[in-house]
Amino acid sequence: MNIIEADYIYIQGEYINRKAIAFDKTIKAIDTKENLLALYPDATIHTTPPNSVIYPGFINTHVHIEFSSNKTTLTYGSFIKWLSSVMTNASKTSSCDNSAMENACNEMLKSGITGFGAISSYGVDLNVCINTPQRVVYFNEIVGSNEGMIDINYESFEYRTKLSQKYASDNFIPAVSIHSAYSTHKTLINKAISYAKENKLLLTAHLLESPGEREWLTNASGDFYEFYKNFIGVEKPANTLDEFLKAFDDTPTHFIHCVQATKKELDMLKVKGHSIAHCPRSNRMLGCGRLSIEDVKAPFSVATDGLSSNWSLNIFDELRAALMMHYHIPLHELSVQLINSVTSIPAKIFGLNCGIIAPQKLSDFCIITLPDTPVSLEEIALWTILHTKEATKVYIGGKQYV
Ligand code: MCF
Ligand code: FE
């Protein structure tokens, strides 16, 4: 048994003063250190520096580990320019080596990320994702709008997904990613959704990321028109927006971005039981705009996206960006919302038994240390986001990794 104590523990939206947690793989009890020691006299004591806060480990629901070695390769500022640069540099982006992918996992770990959702486009990240200490929801991607390539694209998806299913464990959860409405043929979408349903796998998809995507799906015009004509040789979108959304009607899905969704569409996502990954820095880098989180009713997480559209996978960098981007929302209210968007909310979205500190939950913790004593408990969420570059200690399933 272990006992960890800190000046503050984040429990059910509140910062509880001077308590301790008894834990092994899961949390056994939360009480004063003295009471816990009376229960578990042989427990190992883990101390934390003054002004430390124990948070549930953070969960980054959307990252592309395979796109970790293209820091100065891709073009930013406009989505279609970025997408063209992905296509032009396909050989470079699809050959990320293990050390770059391990560094990506390690960077997340150091910022307190104890679980993440990885979009696997090629399957080259499989070993890294199996061996990383974090819990991984491994989203096998299906993509390809070309009718003539349906069988090949499906076979590749099925092969990668089945392979990943062989490694399923508490820490490694195979899942399905449908890349997007503009890039994936209807037949592939329906087959992948059926596969996910039959195998009870989580589902994710990029949705309404850029203004151009919206225009292409609804009017078959705009900058996607030029792109599709020149790169792919087609003049009509693979799906309409309505038929794409309908395909997910009875399958709760984690939709990525949704920056260009209307209020009505955002409401519909809530009604259908879907959730959203909000990637503020990626949206800025790719010229996509701001998700009006004040209009979002569905549960949403804050996520980094990949190094394909970001400069770090540090969750605190992302939270600080979100704090600046959504300047209309009162600062303290937003800070609390953001902390929940990387703890309890993503845990629920992924169905993981973590994300809150309570008995029976998995012992995934991120301990951060504030530079000084906070003047009031109401300030701690904000100070945490502003002052933390890296976690002080990180535990996953009761084991210390940082
Ligand atoms: O989330 C960002 C931007 N939106 C869409 N896709 C990607 C992102 N980062 C990497 N991607 C990948 C995606 O998974 O880029 C490819 C897919 O494999 C684009 S489609 C050829
Ligand atoms: Fe993405």
Q: Give the pLDDT confidence of 149-178 residue by residue, as tens digits.
A: 999 999 999 999 999 999 999 999 999 999
- Cα 268 to ligand 2 centroid, rounded to whole Å: 22
Q: Identify the CA nearest to 121 among candidates 194, 176, 82, 74.
A: 176
Active site residue 235: no
Q: Which helix (H) or strand (E) holds 36?
A: helix 33-39
- Cα 64 to ligand 1 centroid, rounded to whole Å: 8
Query: How many Å apart are CA 284 and CA 282, to the nearest integer?
Result: 5
**Contact between 62 and 256 (Cβ < 8 Å):** yes
Pick from 75, 179, 214 the residue to mutate for probing ligand 1's pocket: most ligand atoms within 8 Å of its CB.
Answer: 179
**Structural domains for the chain:** 2-56+354-400 (2.30.40.10), 58-350 (3.20.20.140)
The pTM of the whole model exceeds 0.95:
yes
| Residue ranges, the chain, pLDDT below 70 | 93-94
Residue 261 main-chain phi, psi, to 5 deg? -75, 145
Q: Out of 209, 215, 243, 390, which one is annotated catalytic?
A: 209
Angle, to 10 degrees, between the axis of helix 150-166 and the axis of helix 186-198? 20
Specify which residues 184 forms β-bridges with: 144
Going through 24-57 in order, the beta strands assigned E by DSSP cover 27-31, 44-46, 52-56
Residue 149 to residues 176, 187, 237, 322, Cα–Cα distance (Å): 19, 11, 16, 39
- Cα 4 to ligand 1 centroid, rounded to whole Å: 40
**Residues 141-158 as b or e (16 or more Cβ within 10 Å = b):** bbbbbeeeebeebbebbe
Residue 84 main-chain phi, psi, to 5 deg? -60, -40
Query: How many Å apart are CA 106 and CA 216, to the nearest integer?
Result: 38
Structure tokens belonging to residue 3:
């006992």
Closest ligand 1 atom, residue 177 Cα: 14
Question: Which residues fall within 8 angstroms of residue 59, CB to CB, at 6 or more apart?
Answer: 113, 114, 115, 116, 117, 301, 342, 343, 346, 347, 350, 352, 354, 355
Q: Identify the CA nearest to 315 among candidates 343, 348, 344.
A: 343
Q: Given this model, what pLDDT does residue 46 score?
A: 98
Q: Given this model, what pLDDT does residue 123 score?
A: 97
